[in-house]
């Protein structure tokens, strides 16, 4: 079997949303080590600047609110002005507040959809505007294995990730003749602040951010669309889809997969939930201020 041709990321300009911590930060480091130039976009500019300073001269920090199209435009414009034309966009920013669906507030649902889905839609459209005229570019959308299943405790989160998977598949097919590559990344639970306090699935260990980062870079290098992390998850998913629903649900209960998002350690998770709520509240305040300024 012929080996896949590997394209180098050296010299490429890569923009990452949610790049100041977790998977985003690990991916930025992996790319810089391979010679890429990286624009780290984050709602927390101070942390983004700290991360960029840690990573070195090929990383530059910018503030971005992925729920605000104008903010996303400014991020990409500033990144291109500083680092050159956009070669790769990694739509990584996302949140995961948890709880029973009937107890979820409408504000929380809107926040999840705005960040996890609208943010990816904005980023994908804006990247395509820049890439299609050059007939070159790669968009990486970070979904989740929750985008392939419904997991109790995270219904709306799962809905947003299912949407990211479907969006990525459709956009890929629309751009087969445009020279644009799309990758959809589906990690299991990752050892980041977002994944803190979750119940372990029997026989499945938490991933480290660096493992996901390596899978992302490999997908860029080889133009791979379906990026399961760990890769063995793909075979498990195929096998489970051949089993009747009752069987799949029995296996999920046996492995405690149905408890992963439903039975969490609230104390361990409290700082993440508080930060997520605070950051989205700040985003809403910034948006309101911008509207008021525009209207005055």
CA 3 to chain centre: 28
Q: Per-residue confidence of the chain (296 residues) as pLDDT tens digits?
A: 445 678 999 999 999 999 999 999 999 999 999 999 999 999 999 999 999 999 988 999 999 999 999 999 999 999 999 999 999 999 999 999 999 999 999 999 999 999 999 999 999 999 999 999 999 999 999 999 999 989 999 999 999 999 999 999 999 999 999 999 999 999 998 877 776 777 666 556 788 999 999 999 999 999 999 999 988 877 777 777 777 777 767 666 776 677 678 777 777 777 777 777 766 666 556 554 444 333 32
CATH number of the domain at 13-295, please? Answer: 3.40.50.720
pLDDT at 235: 75
Structure tokens at 66: 């992925």
Known catalytic residues are 157
Sheet holding 59-63, edge to edge: 59-63, 37-42, 13-17, 88-91, 137-142, 180-187, 226-229
CA angle, residues 210, 13, 80, in degrees to nearest 5: 130
pLDDT at 1: 41
Smallest CA-to-CA distance from 101 within 264, 261, 278, 245 is with 261
Distances (CA, A) of 166 to 160, 161, 163, 176: 10, 9, 5, 16
Sign (positive/negative) of CA torsion 292, 127, 90, 225? positive
pTM to 2 decimal places: 0.88
Domains in the chain: boundaries: 13-295
């Amino acid at each position: 079997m012929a080996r896949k041709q590997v394209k180098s990321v050296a010299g490429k300009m890569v923009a990452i949303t949610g790049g100041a911590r977790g998977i985003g930060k690990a991916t930025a480091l992996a790319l810089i080590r391979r010679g890429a130039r990286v624009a780290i976009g984050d709602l927390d500019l101070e942390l983004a600047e700290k991360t960029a300073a840690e990573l070195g001269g090929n990383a530059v920090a910018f503030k971005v609110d992925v729920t605000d199209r104008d903010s996303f435009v400014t991020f990409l414009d500033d990144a291109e002005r500083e680092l050159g034309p956009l070669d790769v966009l990694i739509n990584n920013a996302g949140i995961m507040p948890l709880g029973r669906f009937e107890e979820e507030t409408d504000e929380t649902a809107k926040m999840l959809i705005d960040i996890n889905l609208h943010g990816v839609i904005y980023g994908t459209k804006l990247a395509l505007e820049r890439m299609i005229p050059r007939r070159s570019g790669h968009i990486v959308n970070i979904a989740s294995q929750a985008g392939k299943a419904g997991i109790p405790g995270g219904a709306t989160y799962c809905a947003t990730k299912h949407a990211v998977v479907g969006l990525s598949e459709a956009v890929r097919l629309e751009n087969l003749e445009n020279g644009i590559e799309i990758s959809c990344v589906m990690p299991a639970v990752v050892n980041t602040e977002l994944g803190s306090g979750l119940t372990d699935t029997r026989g499945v260990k938490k991933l480290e951010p660096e493992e996901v980062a390596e899978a992302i870079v490999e997908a860029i290098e080889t133009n791979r669309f379906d990026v399961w992390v760990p890769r063995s998850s793909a075979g498990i998913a195929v096998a489970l889809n051949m089993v009747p629903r009752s069987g799949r649900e029995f296996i999920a209960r046996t492995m405690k997969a149905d408890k992963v998002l439903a039975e969490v350690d609230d104390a361990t998770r409290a700082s993440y939930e508080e930060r997520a709520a605070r950051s989205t509240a700040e985003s809403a305040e910034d948006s309101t201020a911008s509207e008021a300024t525009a209207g005055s």
